[in-house]
């Protein structure tokens, strides 16, 4: 057992039978995660997590955290939290190296017997009550519980398929208008985490039902008969979040999409283990922000915070609603500046 790069955590290695690895891969799909290590972490949180930890997580992931809101139109606050001496240096895409950590295989200790083939709950092992309850909840969420859940509440199919399709297109168009390209796998993974922690945990009736994509799809089908059980995509995640969060206000869903996307982005920026929008760089987030502020995007260009601040001032004066600009354009300018400024924050 060795220390990992993250403070307060340690790396472990574990040998598992192939059938359990297959279960891990199934959970990867249902939770929208890309690493088995992240699946193991989430699984332990679901089964062994303390209710106090869950409540603390809800507080940490508050939707409207004032510290993460976009900067207001007036004034630019200069703070000692940012390093004025640093500069962004642009490089070509071929120089970017991506790496992902996976759970490493190791030799099984001699004093341990190989794990037996995974069986049913009735395997002779008496689990503690709270573990059994949470395990049953997870199996129900995955649709693998043989006990049928009786729901006496009326089902209201109040969202038309055509309207949902329009909302899906609007979501993708809005994202591309902000960041220049379609969301990639890392963005989808972050959106699934946001849906599970910031949306699902606050929905009525999901207290004892851990999040899975299958469970979210089943809930969505209650309100939209034409909703298909397809793989997670960014636009589907945003639309599901909007419908399930307020199913009786779906007629305004299209207008709420920019707010939902902004909430996801703000939540992503607050998450631990990431630095600002660093993980979203491959979606041209930085590139799009530089273009929006009329800053150079060629490889080798060096940009200081002062340069970015001056470009923001110029754009803000031109696009401010009081100067004849649009509110939407001003919002994009603010978001671009906020994104670039975070790159200079002192660690």
pLDDT at 157 over 80: no
pLDDT at 326 over 90: no
Helix, coil or strand: residue 88: strand
Please give the Cα distance from 196 to 297 (Å, whole number): 36
Bridge partners (DSSP) of residue 89 are: 302
CA angle 219, 213, 223 (to 5 degrees): 20
pLDDT recorded at residue 277: 44
pTM above 0.75? no
Instruction: Give me the residue label for tokens 């030799």.
Output: 107
Lowest mean pLDDT among 17-31, 112-126, 184-198, 277-291: 112-126
Bridge partners (DSSP) of residue 3 are: 10
Name the pairing type of β-strands 87-89 and 302-304.
antiparallel
Query: How much of the chain exceeds pLDDT 70, in percent?
Result: 60
Max mean pLDDT range (111-115, 132-136, 301-305, 313-317): 313-317
Please give the Cα distance from 345 to 309 (Å, whole number): 14
For residue 333, CA distances in Å to 20, 138, 310, 328 come to 48, 43, 13, 9
Mean pLDDT computed over 12-16: 74
pLDDT recorded at residue 171: 95
Please give the Cα distance from 163 to 150 (Å, whole number): 30
**How many beta carbons lie within 10 A of that of residue 262, not counting itself?**
17
pLDDT at 179 over 60: yes
pLDDT recorded at residue 129: 52
Q: Which of residues 134 and 259 earns the better pLDDT score?
A: 259
Mean pLDDT computed over 288-310: 85
**Confidence label for 237 from pLDDT (cuts 50, 70 and 90):** very high
């Amino acid at each position: 057992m060795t220390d990992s790069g993250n403070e307060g955590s340690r790396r472990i290695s574990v040998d598992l039978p192939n059938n359990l690895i297959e279960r891990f891969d199934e959970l990867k799909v249902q939770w929208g995660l890309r690493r088995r290590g992240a699946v193991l972490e989430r699984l332990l949180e679901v089964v062994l997590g303390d209710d106090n930890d869950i409540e603390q997580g809800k507080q940490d992931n508050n939707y409207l955290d004032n510290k993460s809101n976009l900067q207001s139109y007036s004034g630019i606050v200069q703070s000692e939290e940012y390093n004025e001496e640093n500069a962004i240096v642009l490089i070509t895409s071929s120089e970017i190296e991506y790496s992902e950590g996976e759970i490493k295989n190791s030799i099984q200790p001699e004093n341990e017997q190989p794990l037996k083939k995974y069986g049913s709950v009735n395997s002779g092992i008496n689990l503690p009550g709270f573990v059994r309850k949470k395990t049953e909840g997870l199996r129900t969420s995955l649709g693998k519980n043989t006990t049928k859940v009786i729901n006496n509440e009326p089902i209201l199919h109040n969202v038309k398929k055509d309207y949902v399709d329009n909302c899906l297109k609007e979501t993708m168009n809005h994202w591309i208008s902000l960041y220049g390209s379609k969301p990639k796998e890392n963005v989808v993974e972050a959106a699934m985490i946001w849906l599970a922690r910031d949306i699902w945990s606050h929905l009525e009736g999901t207290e004892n039902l851990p999040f899975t994509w299958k469970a979210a799809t089943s809930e969505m089908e209650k309100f939209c008969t034409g909703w298909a059980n397809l793989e997670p995509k960014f636009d589907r995640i945003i639309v599901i979040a909007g419908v399930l969060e307020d199913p009786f206000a779906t007629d305004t869903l299209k207008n709420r999409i920019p707010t939902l996307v902004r909430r996801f982005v703000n939540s992503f920026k607050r998450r631990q283990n990431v630095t600002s929008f660093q993980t979203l760089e491959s979606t041209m987030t930085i590139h799009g922000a530089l273009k929006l502020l009329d800053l150079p995007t060629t490889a080798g260009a060096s940009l200081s915070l002062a340069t970015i601040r001056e470009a923001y001032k110029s754009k803000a004066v031109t696009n401010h609603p009081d100067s004849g600009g649009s509110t939407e354009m001003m919002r994009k300018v603010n978001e671009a500046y906020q994104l670039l400024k975070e790159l200079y924050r002192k660690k």
